[in-house]
Amino acid sequence: MSDVAYDRLYDDITGGKLQPNERLIELDLARELGISRAAVRNALIRLEQEGLVKREPNRGARVRLVSEEEAVEILEARMALECVAVRHAALNRTPEDIDELRALLSKMEDHLKRGDLLAASDVNGQFHRRLIEIANHSTISRLLKMLNSQLIRFQYRTILTPGRPPSSLAEHRAIFEAVAAGDPDAAEKAMRTHLSRVAKALKQTAAEARSP
């Protein structure tokens, strides 16, 4: 029963239905989901550990607001971990994996040609997630799931940056080529340049948001 609350809240927070800093009142959520308050409480504790929720003693829980600085921090950590993951992916990948990644890449290309940036961002997420599955590294996988869930709000912003879509596609293609070739060094390098450019784009949009 606690899982119900967890899944629901997870989706609502990462999906944007719940705004940052919005209060999460145990009783309300319990009534809404038709479960007990204790179950909601447990879900909130789990979400707090994952960094999606902030709980303060006697003051309840809120959707955690991820500051720009923190977003950069998270991206930095993610870069370090995802570079290791992509190395493993380059060594583990099967021919089927390569086909799947290629398919995702061409799907992404289609969306970009059609100008559908949100769909492209979606495929982008799938591409990265698939790479991590291929890496088959449970620890890194666990950590990256945490980090990514906190970044979703920012993630779909970066691809909206002017001029970003075509280079993003090229960067992903470079990652794909290296993984397909089974070259961990090249894969890591490609991933590193990709994510550092995402970070750069993020900083840029953040700066623009501050002084428009």
Partner DNA sequence: CTCCGGGAAATCGTTGACAATTATGTTAAC
Partner DNA sequence: GTTAACATAATTGTCAACGATTTCCCGGAG
Residues forming contacts to DNA in the complex (CB under 7 A) are: 1-2, 23-28, 35-39, 41, 55, 57-61
DSSP assignments along 113-158, one per residue: HHT-HHHHHHHHHHHHHHHHHHHT-HHHHHHHHHHHHHHHHHHHHH
Q: At its nearest, how many Å lie between DNA and the CB of residue 35?
A: 4
Nearer to DNA, 61 or 190 (CB): 61
Which residues in the 27-86 window bind its own copies by CB under 8 A? 38, 41-42, 45-46, 49-51, 70, 73-74, 76-77, 79-81, 83-84
Nearer to DNA, 44 or 202 (CB): 44
Q: Which of 9, 104, 120, 147 binds its own copies (CB under 8 A)?
A: 147
What distance in Å separates the CA atoms of residue 141 and residue 100, rounded to the nearest whole number? 19
Q: At its nearest, how many Å lie between its own copies and the CB of residue 36?
A: 12
Nearer to its own copies, 46 or 107 (CB): 46
Residue 160 tokens read as 């909206």
State the Rg of the chain over Cα: 19
Nearer to its own copies, 36 or 119 (CB): 36
Nearer to DNA, 27 or 94 (CB): 27
CB 153 within 8 A of CB 15: no
Q: How close are the terminal C-alpha atoms of the chain, in Å?
A: 46
Strand partners, 61: 24, 55
Q: For its own copies, what does the binding mask look like between residues 111 and 140, x meaning CB under 8 A?
A: --------------------------xxxx
Strand partners, 23: 62
